[in-house]
Amino acid sequence: MESYIADWLNLLMRWLHMIVGIAWIGASFYFVWLDNHLLPPRNKDDAARRGVAGEVWAVHGGGFYHAQKFLVGPKGEPLSDHLHWFKWEAYATWFSGMGMLAIVYWWGAHAYLIDKSVLDISVPTAIAISFFSLVTSWFIYDALCKLIKSELALGIVLFIFIVAATWGYSQVFGARAAYIHVGSMIGTWMVWNVFFHVIPGQEKMVTAIRAGRDPDPLPGLIGKQRSVQNTYFTLPVLFVMISSHYPMTYAHQYGWVVLAVIMLAGALIRQYFVLRHFGRNVVSLPLIAIVLLAGLAVWLAPRSTPVAPGAAAVPYAQIELILAQRCVACHAEQPTFPGFQQAPNGLKLDTPELVKAAAPRIAQQTIATKAMPIGNITKMTDDERSLLGKWLATGASIK
């Protein structure tokens, strides 16, 4: 019953995370587009008298929209009482994401967080490292943003910091958990940017305007800086959210390098679209990203197990013993491993016919990426993986 409850909590929290994440990212992308498409107001009086910094006309859903931006609020007129604050989408995304982290990686720490072949630590220690590393990373990130004035230099330093954190997590947690923690770290920065800088800055400006004072533009500028950073973080975080489905990336020996390359490609693609908003079609940016991803695909391509010509087929009895000891506890009609009520991804290996049908998945997950058993919780050895590879290379006979 416990695993059944966990499945429902996982489902509902993941669904919520996806819904609010779409709402937040959609709003973020829209306002980046909006900012980058603003033109000087047609009505010169709007700029001089009302303080309009830019405007844009748009058409959508059968209607016409006229958006105007005031850098420090309207001049000579009251600020509307009906302000919409774009914050709850971000907060709900973080809380639901942390809920998923707790359900999957803290509750299931023995299977999903800890890989004893990486570092043999206790569950409480692993959870403490997980939580406090996310909090600590924010203070480092925030300090860097305040200390480094050049946006280019800051971007380079932050990328180096993220790569270093990726490597660090890969030395502590299982490969899949390491990736998720990098995404959680960046996601924490994004949401706390909103909570500690964007919204408080806007609140200060609103308070000053309603009190009849000229607002200090600095909080708005800081908020804009953090919002721009958030848009470049988005694509890398989205990749991490789906990475658990692709062990060819996170389970690689140099998974931290793989993630660094994919993040760089994502940032280049996002930069391309940001520049397109300004009318600059810098095609070299997506081309570089494509080259990086293509090179990565070649590098990660699985290698077949070398087998001497005429080598005898590996008897299925040997394979059956390995699977029984290392895999069938989870991948069976009735799993016996604690926490599993049904075979993960519907993959069952408790009959020869099912094993034969699953041969390509065994080759990818168990031999090419070594992603399974997850966290190597059943301690499959390299010799056993090698024997599985030879069985596959010599025909995968089940006789």
DSSP letter string over 118-137?
T----HHHHHHHHHHHHHHH
Sorting pLDDT into bands at 50, 70 and 90, what band is 290? very high
Contact call for residues 190 and 230 (beta carbons, < 8 A): yes
**Which of 95-99, 296-300, 376-380 has the lowest average pLDDT?**
376-380
Residue 384: what pLDDT?
87
Sorting pLDDT into bands at 50, 70 and 90, what band is 307? low
Q: Which two tokens stand for residue 190?
A: 């994004």
Sorting pLDDT into bands at 50, 70 and 90, what band is 61? confident
pLDDT in tens, 184-193: 999 999 999 9
pLDDT in tens, 30-42: 988 888 889 999 8
Residue 237: what pLDDT?
93
Residue 360: what pLDDT?
85
User: What is the rounded average pLDDT of the residues 134-145?
Assistant: 97
User: What is the rounded average pLDDT of the residues 218-245?
Assistant: 89
User: What is the rounded average pLDDT of the residues 246-250?
Assistant: 89
Residue 309: what pLDDT?
67
**Which of 246-260, 306-320, 321-335 has the lowest average pLDDT?**
306-320
- Nearest-5° Cα angle at 73, 68 to 74: 70
**Which of 49-53, 78-82, 238-242 has the lowest average pLDDT?**
78-82
User: What is the rounded average pLDDT of the residues 57-64?
Assistant: 91
Residue 308: what pLDDT?
61
Phi, psi of 214 (to 5 degrees): -75, 125
* CB within 8 Å of 283: residues ≥ 6 apart: 272
Q: Which two tokens stand for residue 101?
A: 């982290």
Long-range contacts of 78-83 (CB under 8 A, 24+ apart): 78/210, 79/206, 79/209, 79/210, 83/206
Residue 3: what pLDDT?
67
